[in-house]
Amino acid sequence: MSTDKLAATDTSPTAPKPRAKALRTLLDTSGLIAIFFVLFIALAIFVPDFLTGRNIVGLLLSVTLIGTIATTMMMVLALGEVDLSVASIVAFTGVVAAVVTSTSGSVFIGVLVGIAAGGAVGAFNGFVVSKFGINSLIATLAAMEFVRGLAYITSGGDAVMVTVPSFFDLGSASFLGLTLPVWTMIVCFVVFGIVLNMTAFGRNTLATGGNAEAASLAGVNVRRLKITVFALQGVVAGIAGVLLASRMGLGDPNTSMGLELAVISACVLGGVSLSGGVASITGVLVGVLIMGCVQNAMGLLNVPTFYQYLVRGAILLLAVMFDRWKQTRRAKG
């Protein structure tokens, strides 16, 4: 039976009932939203210039890279997998788009090839994970290295300047006061929110993350599902990489180092379980905004960069500890 005809559910004896699971997710998300509002109000009161219109727009723009990629990282984590190669894909696709655009003189071709390159890497990751049963942490760690290497080889080891001026419009074009990268992030949240909550594909992803064997017995093509989810991750990372290259005006093979950890932190902070089967698009959005607000506030307060690393590391650790606590609570309940 195809995945289009059946949304699998976890049939294991210890699986939580769907209604109880949905209620817990709702409560977790509501609590996270409350934390975000408290944080936002506190920053508005105590951090100078935080609430200015210019800073809010800048805040939204600063989270576009993490936010856009987090929408598909959510799907990967919900599947019970992880993708550490997204930062390298961002760098690689930006370089590819810059090289192809400058060589062909066509922005459309450059963007298309860049995004396709990201999708190809994602599909390859999914194939390796699903076909050979390799742990996705190891598979994508390897991909992170060789895709970053491809970025250096493609660029000749240096940043690639784009010689077609219209390429820069992708990162600067605006509508209703918001730039294209911000709108892209918004569209990704809407689209993947619908996919996760209102389609058989989303339900099958959650079911597979909860119990892959049960999902397979219920008719889900788990191998194809994993390849598709990883391919979507590559495509979205490719889109983010092209937009970043447009904003910078060049393709930089050194860009986005450590981005994958920030994306995973935002997802886990937003309630996505590292063990799979649990995800909330609203929670991921709030997680992205919390991290963005903290980073923005540290910038406004001129917190030294090395202290910012400590704060981001602490956020990641707390997010993982919180996820572990929720897993324990679900196991007892």
Could you tell me the pTM of the whole model?
0.88
Residue 60 lies in a domain: yes
42, part of any domain? no
Q: State how far the alpha carbon of 276 is from the alpha carbons of 66, 221, 227, in Å.
A: 20, 17, 16
Total number of domains in the chain: 1
Residue 72 belongs to a domain: yes
CA 236 to centroid of chain Cα atoms: 8
Average of per-residue pLDDT across 72-80: 96
In sequence order, what are the residues at sequence separation of 6 or more whose Cβ sits closer than 8 angstroms to the Cβ of residue 8? 203, 204, 207, 208, 214, 215, 218, 219, 220
The chain-wide mean pLDDT, for the chain, equals 88
CB-CB contact of 76 with 230 (8 Å): yes
pLDDT over 70 at 174, yes or no: yes
Express as a percent the part of the chain with pLDDT over 70: 89
Q: Please indicate whether residue 76 or residue 1 has the higher confidence score (pLDDT).
A: 76
Section 190-209 average pLDDT? 95
Residue 324 lies in a domain: no
Query: 179: which strand partners?
Result: 174
**Neighbour-count burial of 127, counting CB atoms closer than 10 A to its CB (0-12 exposed, 13-18 middle, 19+ buried):** middle
Instruction: Report yes or no on 144 lying in a domain.
Output: yes
In this structure, is residue 274 part of a structural domain?
no
What CA–CA distances, in Å, run from 218 to 1, 136, 161? 8, 23, 51
Q: Which domain holds residue 237?
A: 50-256
| Range of lowest pLDDT (215-229, 273-287, 305-319) | 305-319
- Under the banding of pLDDT at 50, 70 and 90, the label for residue 2 is very low
Selection from 131-135, 228-232, 327-331 with the highest mean pLDDT:
228-232
- What digits encode the pLDDT tens for the residues 18-55? 555 555 555 566 778 888 899 899 999 999 999 888 89
Tell me how far the alpha carbon of residue 148 is from its chain's centroid. 18
| Mean pLDDT computed over 189-208 | 95
- Asked, for residue 75, whether it belongs to a domain, the answer is yes
Whether residue 111 is contained in a domain is answered as yes
β-strands 160-161, 174-175 pairing = unpaired
